[in-house]
Structure 1
Amino acid sequence: MSNTRIAFIGAGNMAASLIGGLRDKSLEIIQISARESAKYNINTFADITEKISEVDIIVLAVKPQAMQAICKKLRPNLQPHQLVVSIAASITCASMKTWLGAAQPIVRCMPNTPALLHKGVSGLYATPEVVAKQRNQAQELLSAVGVVVWLKQEQQLDAVTALSGSGPAYFFLLIEAMITTGVKLGLPYEVTKLLVEQTALGAASMVIDSDVDTTELRRRVTSPGGTTQAALELLQAGNFEILVEKALIAAAHRSAELAKQLGK
């Protein structure tokens, strides 16, 4: 990426996070430009067609509803060698090829909000037009804000959306419910919040750092006839695992539905 020129179309939170991650990796200011002014001291341009033909990578970080209009405006100035990286949810490569041109190399990404803290995970899919160098560039770009996973089929991005894209909200809901209940059990709010936050952080760290799977980790915490077993039996009696499965399937199906709606 040392000589790679990158232009960002859109400068929302995710774009700002990517720019910050690239800057942390010592990319020169001149290599990065954005349509809108972000918090970083970078080159900006008011018109998205301004000097767009001079860059190597174009990152589309706009809302899905705006993608079609943006792509059609870019199309007359695009060069065949330019890589287009999209982080817009639910916009398929087929739709982008229709709007940008069939031969344009495209990498479609599904990041998640922890990328704002450079602790994200992104699913990436590349069209056949993407060459090895561009694939590496896309990986380095998204690696600036977290872990990268490559997918062989674009449809798998719907599952990525359900798992990691929407996933932080599931954990937020669990944390919210635990804090609320902790207060009901008589603990001060700040104490409860700290206990739950650190428990969530510690549990995630154990999963990442341990050499055993989550089933074994759960077994080690669950003493027969103890407090953990009492709580887990209640969750499982309420079909906790099945409810999680149904929720993820619903999110994946909704992702596919949105792709059809927004791609028209």
Structure 2
Amino acid sequence: MLNYNSKPLLFALVFIHSLFSSSQGQLLVGFYSQTCPTAESIVHSVVDENFKRDPGNAAVLLRLQFHDCFVKGCDGSILINNGAEGERGARGNLGVGGYEIIEEAKKMLESVCPGVVSCADIVALAARDAVSLLLKSRFQQKGLSDRDLVLLSGGAHTIGLTACFFMQKRLYNFTPSGGSDPSIDPGFLRELKANCPFNGDPNVKIPLDPVTEFKFDDQVFVNIKNGFAVIASDARLSDDNNTRQILESYIGSGQNFQADFAKAMVKMGTIGVKTGSQGEIRRVCSNVN
């Protein structure tokens, strides 16, 4: 796996994705495609502008979503400004912000699709987009593009194994409602649980690409698209429109995937490289000179 110190971010992405799955009773991706086709793009544009002004707004919007959901569910009730006695003014919600961003998005949506998009959905959409922008910005800060993100984060999992230890939360206690990650194909979920039972052997490992385990190809992207992603971070690549389109563009592309992956690896290999007198040759790699 690519290591860029993103465990808290990936947890956040898992949390947000659970609010956008297609299982019964949960928010459906593309829910407003008929009633308000521009809903998601409007919210994204508002979040994007606020993120550019202050990247800290990503955490603000995520926290707003968290606090809304954990008091009687994700109903947008925290947005109601009804004084100190209300949910918004409660002691536990002191410091929660981002209300003005939601209001900005709501105002734009009402001008296009009056009375269609709920406030609760705007909060959820905003939190999802904010976290997605933050993930991509971390790559951009290193000079890496969205394409590099897809290739290095997902494409690298065309070979290799992962320990069942890292699957327990996704299979048995998925945030925030428990149970399993609803993005997993039902048949594949049964297979994963059979190989990685609850409280099973932590030393058991499963392939990241169970279809072509020992072949470096684009099958991992096919898996992700069809709900057969093994790990959560791969599945999350389908949450963002741009990364999903990039991912799908490599399916059936043959050598294009391999060539672009090689370019991304070379690009990553130039990050922060020390040359000349900037660094030193350690005599023993595990010790400083």
Report the TM-score, using the length of structure 1 for normalisation: 0.24
Q: Which has the higher contact order (CA 8 A, sep 6+)?
A: 2
Whichever structure has more strand as a proportion of its residues is 1
